[in-house]
Amino acid sequence: THAGAAAAPEDETRRAEAVAEGFRALYGRDPEGVWAAPGRVNLIGEYTDFNDGFVMPLALPHTAVAAVARRDDGVLRVHSADLPSPVTELRVDELTPGCDTSWAAYPAGVVYALGTAGHPVGGADLHLASTVPTGAGLSSSAALEVVTALALNDLYDLGLTRAELARLAQRAENEFVGVPCGVMDQMAAACCTDGHALHLDTRDLSLRQVPFAPSDDGLALLVVDTRVQHALGDGAYAERRAGCEEGARRLGVSHLRDVPHAELPAALERLAAEAGDHVVRYVRHIVTDNHRVGEVIALLDAGDVRAVGPVLTEGHHSLRDDLRVSCAELDLVVEAALAAGALGARMTGGGFGGSAVVLTEADAAERTGDAVRAAFAAAGHPEPRIFPALPSAGARRIG
Ligand code: ADP
Ligand code: MG
């Protein structure tokens, strides 16, 4: 048992009804169903997913909720209650990457990816509303893709598995939206379960649900959304990716996942002799962070949740010093939280802003949050948004 994991069922029913009502007002008919898919935070294993490595996300109670009905005339209409824009109308048979550059590319990209994978969708009306903060590193985009994919899978009886839906959602983002993300976010939205973290092997998408309920141990996992997003993120991601690929090539492996942790010193020595310093650092981050996922799993399996804290902090230092994807605000969260007595903290997601996670004693959570807010005020940063990361359910039908 874990205290108050996801949103209360009655809240979810109310939201499903509100989004269905929005659908009726917009399209003048009833939706055929309502679905939800969550945002996520990643506990440990950052930038490892495009290196065929391990990650450990958990779903948040925040969700994208979509009311959907089929159409038989090849038309796709999408609308978001969260934006001022009107209904976007597209023809399914004319969907091509780049044909729409608005938010509608996320749901349209899913329809496109389904079609190119041999699962044609005749058309649909979709209306959605989301409580996942956007651009905060909590993966509002994957929530949007996965809720669309699951709804169409159910309505068109496509029979795809959760992992297949996640892969198609990733393809939508890679090919249609044009963001070269790994598969973690979509797998988290599709496959997480209430009260668990998802131990995912991104090589073959094999997974294990690891019971994770900090409150049962008198602990809290906080999300601190810095509310900043620095512009260099996109180019930096591609540059890190290229550096990791160079490291793998020079070490003669297909992906850095294949460099055993025990052989890291020898691998780094070899790289130092023939590659740039950045390649050495990137390889060290990926191999050690992959190893940290295993360490966290072992600690959770042993019931030693408090000992996870220092591993998170080590992960942050590796992201800050070796991969260099942190920023002043994220470093300040970690620093202020640790100074206030937190067990551990790290940035989560792509970095350069976005969010951090903090593991703390439950009875110190408020004090820790206050300390982070005070440090932000003193540094002249905008006030961060802080809330508990309650491990919640993955995508599901809710109405
Ligand atoms: P993140 O996934 O970390 O939140 P991204 O930049 O990957 O950040 O995705 C954010 C984008 O997803 C938004 O700019 C918007 O295009 C789309 N999006 C997310 N939530 C919504 C929503 N509720 N309504 C419309 N578009 C949304
Ligand atoms: Mg995203």
Sheet holding 57-70, edge to edge: 88-91, 75-80, 124-130, 57-70, 33-42, 396-397
Catalytic residue list contains 185: yes
pLDDT at 7: 57
Helix (H) or strand (E) holding 61: strand 57-70
Neighbours of ion ligand 2 (CB under 5 A): 139, 141
pLDDT at 309: 98
Residues 283-300, mean pLDDT to the nearest whole number: 98
What percent of the chain stands above pLDDT 70? 97
Shortest CA distance to 44 belongs to which of 251, 319, 268? 319
Angle at the Cα of 167 from the Cα atoms of 163 and 173, rounded to 5 degrees: 145
pLDDT at 258: 98
Q: Is the pLDDT of residue 3 over 90?
A: no
Please give the C-alpha separations between residue 66 and each of 15, 178, 323, 396, in angstroms, as whole numbers: 10, 23, 37, 11
Tell me if 141 CB under 6 Å of ligand 1. Answer: yes
Is 140 annotated as a binding-site member? Answer: yes
At residue 234 the predicted structure's pLDDT band, cuts being 50, 70 and 90, is: confident
User: How remote is the C-alpha of 57 from its chain's centroid?
Assistant: 7
Tell me if 184 CB under 6 Å of ligand 1. Answer: no
At residue 79 the predicted structure's pLDDT band, cuts being 50, 70 and 90, is: very high
Ligand 1 test: best mutation among 87, 140, 170, most atoms within 8 Å of CB? 140
pLDDT tens for each residue of 246-286: 999 999 999 999 999 999 999 999 999 999 999 999 999 99
Please say whether the beta carbons of 65 and 15 come within 8 A: yes
pLDDT tens for each residue of 18-72: 999 999 999 999 999 999 999 999 999 999 999 999 999 999 999 999 999 999 9
What is the reported pTM?
0.96
Residues 329-349, mean pLDDT to the nearest whole number: 98
Distance CA 347, CA 42 (A): 9
pLDDT tens for each residue of 353-381: 999 999 999 999 999 999 999 999 999 99
Please say whether the beta carbons of 326 and 315 come within 8 A: no
pLDDT at 8: 67
Output the CA 288–ligand 2 centroid distance in Å: 24
Tell me if 134 CB under 6 Å of ligand 1. Answer: yes
Q: Is the dihedral of CA 246, 187, 137, 141 positive or negative?
A: positive
* Tokens 């269905």 -> residue: 20
Sheet holding 196-201, edge to edge: 54-55, 196-201, 207-211
Protein residue whose Cα sits closest to atom 16 of ligand 1 = 103
pLDDT tens for each residue of 131-175: 999 989 999 999 999 999 999 999 999 999 999 999 999 999 999
At residue 4 the predicted structure's pLDDT band, cuts being 50, 70 and 90, is: very low
Ligand 1 test: best mutation among 87, 141, 226, 355, most atoms within 8 Å of CB? 141
Q: Is the pLDDT of residue 1 over 80?
A: no
Please give the C-alpha separations between residue 161 and each of 53, 132, 205, 347, in angstroms, as whole numbers: 21, 24, 12, 31
Output the CA 70–ligand 1 centroid distance in Å: 24
Q: Which residue in 52, 185, 194, 322 is the catalytic one?
A: 185
Residue 155 three-state SS: helix
Protein residue whose Cα sits closest to atom 9 of ligand 1 = 141
Strand partners, 76: 90, 124
Is 80 annotated as a binding-site member? Answer: yes
